[in-house]
Amino acid sequence: MSRNLDLQARRDAAFARGLGNQLPVYVERARNAELWDVDGRRYIDFGSGIAVLNTGHLHPTVQAAVAKQLEAFSHTCLMVTPYAAAVELAEALNALAPGPNPKKTIFVTTGAEAVENTIKIARAHTGRAGVIAFGGGFHGRTFMAMALTGKVAPYKAGFGPFPAEVYHAPFPIAYHGVSVQDSLAALEQVFKYDIEPARVAAIIVEPVLGEGGFYVAPPEFLRSLRAICDAHGIVLIVDEIQTGFARTGRMFAIEHAGIEPDLMTMAKSLAGGFPLAAVVGKAHIMDAPLPGGLGGTYAGSPIACAAALAVLAVIEQEQLCARATAMGTQMVAALREAQKTLPAIGEVRNLGAMVAIELVRNGDPHQPDAELTKSLVRHVAGKGLVLLSCGLYGNVIRFLAPLTASPQIVDEGLAIVVESLRELTGADVQQSVSA
């Protein structure tokens, strides 16, 4: 029996089934955009551990910074006896967050915790309870984050009741026939049917839906949300957990819309594989909770802070924003070319290197092909590629290669995807050829 299969059998016996598992691939080592499993097989990694490795596996600069920190100390608790790396990182994030207003930061450990804390801060600041989020959005697996998440199965099913006063409006998705105007009209309806704006503490939005399917929020939609929040004293929270740190060609995706959020969440690629998350926002809002109301034992771990400072240096030194834009262009060109002969690819879309294809039947956006999507993820793994799916209907392939990946390795990975789609949809190709 292969070591992968042996470990998979032990995994299935040892872990609760609620902990999902995409592939029976047990990693032995990883570098930049490649990993090797315990049976010695090599994989190209187009998943980056779900958007965590914009700087690649074990970037030497990140590795060296962590090794240096480990020589000094590993934990003291930021709330007890702090350290310079955390202060430097908070200063750097405050400076990087878009907009002219002075910023402040808190550190926590996971993305969901960052989301939870934005709601605490927004409620403390406004003295209001309500929160509006969007259909298809994903904000994490803790209770408030689940309540905000706009996808029932598997994230919310069986886990209710959720915190009250959370409402959802549809996210604008042109491909599915939901325009910006439709979304804004639905938001007005929430104000009419469910809660008056004067009781809404916050609106939370992902600038590009991550788990929900890589749908890009049009800039005018985000600007309208900014105007609505300004008009009613509502805190605008932008969840940059998946979109941040150069992924979309800017440090933060919200920069494409040219607006200043009140609060932002950050996690994932912030610390290059070490658990760290942050809330960064306008200083007077961030200061609303009382001392001691925010924090956590591991929040702002010195190891993670050292890693994050190195990540920020790498993003700048290696111009990862520009590389993300170039990678997006390369991927979209190849995928659009493939789309000409692969009718299963309903849409190719991207913001920088946040690239996706949506797989449908009969060229119809309303006939999602989740089975093909699942098969594709398995099939490409057999050819040495780690690929992630997502989407409200489970029919989107998301491309999240490290931004440090070479164009050659990106091409190699894309070729596997296209070849696999041809193999899996041979009948469709035949049909389209003979039609």
Ligand X SMILES: Cc1ncc(COP(=O)(O)O)c(C=O)c1O
What does DSSP say about strands 396-399 and 277-282: parallel, antiparallel, or unpaired? unpaired
Nearer to ligand X, 236 or 418 (CB): 236
Interacting residues with ligand X between 169 and 188 (CB under 6 A): none
- Run of H or E including 314: helix 302-317
Nearer to ligand X, 195 or 241 (CB): 241
Least Cβ distance, residue 112 to ligand X (angstroms): 3
Q: CA nearest 223: which of 255, 179, 263? A: 255
| Interior/surface letters 92-115, b for 16+ CB within 10 angstroms, e for the rest | ebbebbbbeeebbbbbbbbbbbbb
Any contact of residue 267 with ligand X (CB under 6 A)? yes
Size of the site for ligand X (CB under 6 A): 15
Any contact of residue 144 with ligand X (CB under 6 A)? no
Angstrom distance (rounded) from CA 198 to CA 341: 52
Listed ranges 56-64, 117-125, 137-145, 167-175: which one lies at the site for ligand X (CB under 6 A): 137-145
Least Cβ distance, residue 291 to ligand X (angstroms): 25
Listed ranges 22-30, 58-66, 104-112, 172-180: which one lies at the site for ligand X (CB under 6 A): 104-112
Least Cβ distance, residue 262 to ligand X (angstroms): 17
Any contact of residue 110 with ligand X (CB under 6 A)? yes
Burial (CB < 10 A; 0-12, 13-18, 19+), residue 20, is: exposed
Nearer to ligand X, 239 or 260 (CB): 239
Any contact of residue 138 with ligand X (CB under 6 A)? yes
Listed ranges 138-146, 186-194, 251-259, 369-377: which one lies at the site for ligand X (CB under 6 A): 138-146
Listed ranges 40-48, 110-118, 217-225, 398-406: which one lies at the site for ligand X (CB under 6 A): 110-118
Least Cβ distance, residue 261 to ligand X (angstroms): 14
Region for 91 from its dihedrals, namely left if φ exceeds 0, alpha if ψ lies in -120 to 50, beta otherwise: alpha
Any contact of residue 389 with ligand X (CB under 6 A)? no
Angstrom distance (rounded) from CA 101 to CA 153: 39
The set of residues, in sequence order, having a beta carbon less than 8 Å from that of 357 and lying 6+ positions away, is 335, 339, 345, 346, 347, 348, 396, 397
What does the DSSP assignment read for 111-177? Answer: HHHHHHHHHHHHHHHH---EEEEETT----SSHHHHHH----TTTTTTTPPPPSSEEEEPPPBGGGT
Binding mask 41-70 toward ligand X (x if CB under 6 A, else -) reads ---------x--------------------
Listed ranges 68-76, 87-95, 159-167, 234-242: which one lies at the site for ligand X (CB under 6 A): 234-242
- Phi, psi for 213 (deg, rounded to 5): 135, 15
Among 242, 248, 301, 425, binds ligand X (CB under 6 A): 242
Q: CA nearest 385: which of 4, 28, 33? A: 33
Least Cβ distance, residue 182 to ligand X (angstroms): 22
**Applying CB under 6 A, which residues contact ligand X?**
50, 110-112, 115, 138-140, 206, 210-211, 239, 241-242, 267
